[in-house]
Amino acid sequence: MADEHDDHQIEEFEAAAGDNASLTYPVQCSALRKGGHVVIRGRPCKIAEMSTSKTGKHGHAKVNIVAIDIFTQKKLEDLSPSTHNMDVPNVKRQDIELLYVDNGFLVLQNDDGTTREDVKFPENE
């Protein structure tokens, strides 16, 4: 496996515009979509399922969101009124290439040719 070249995709929870940029921006619940991103309990997640209940006699329709943490792969759920705002993380998707594995660490190269050697090879995979 050490000699194979393999493309990997990394999603990072980071600021989009610089040091003073916000890590998130608000979006109304009703505007969120399956496959999009949302912050649930302070964790950046990708939306796996969404359902909306009908408006009840006391007001707002509710949006039930089931999402997967993009770093830990844990499932999280949230129930919120459709008119309320939720935070959406600024997600930067970057394709990188796996060059080789060296002493348990991945040697990765991005599009501009810079390498990264600080990612530990997952032990259980």
Q: Residue 64 and residue 59: Cα distance in Å, rounded? A: 16
Are 101 and 46 spatial neighbours (Cβ–Cβ below 8 Å)? no
Looking at residue 12, what is its pLDDT?
A: 45
E-strand ranges in the chain read 6-13, 24-28, 37-40, 43-52, 62-69, 75-81, 85-89, 91-102, 105-109, 115-120
User: For 6-31, how does the pLDDT look when each residue is reduced to its tens digit (9 = 90+)?
Assistant: 334 344 444 344 555 688 999 999 89
Looking at residue 20, what is its pLDDT?
A: 53
User: For 50-88, how does the pLDDT look when each residue is reduced to its tens digit (9 = 90+)?
Assistant: 999 888 777 788 999 999 999 899 999 999 998 999 999
**Among 7, 5, 22, 9, residue whose Cα is nearest residue 99:** 5
Phi-psi region of 99 (alpha: psi -120 to 50; beta: other; left: phi over 0): alpha
Residue 122 has pLDDT above 90, yes or no: no
Residue predicted with more confidence, 125 or 1:
125
| pTM for this model (two decimals) | 0.65
User: For 111-121, how does the pLDDT look when each residue is reduced to its tens digit (9 = 90+)?
Assistant: 888 998 888 88
97-123 average pLDDT score: 89
Residue-wise DSSP of 72-85: T--EEEEEEETTSE
Dihedral sign for Cα 81, 65, 17, 19, please. positive
Residue predicted with more confidence, 13 or 4:
13
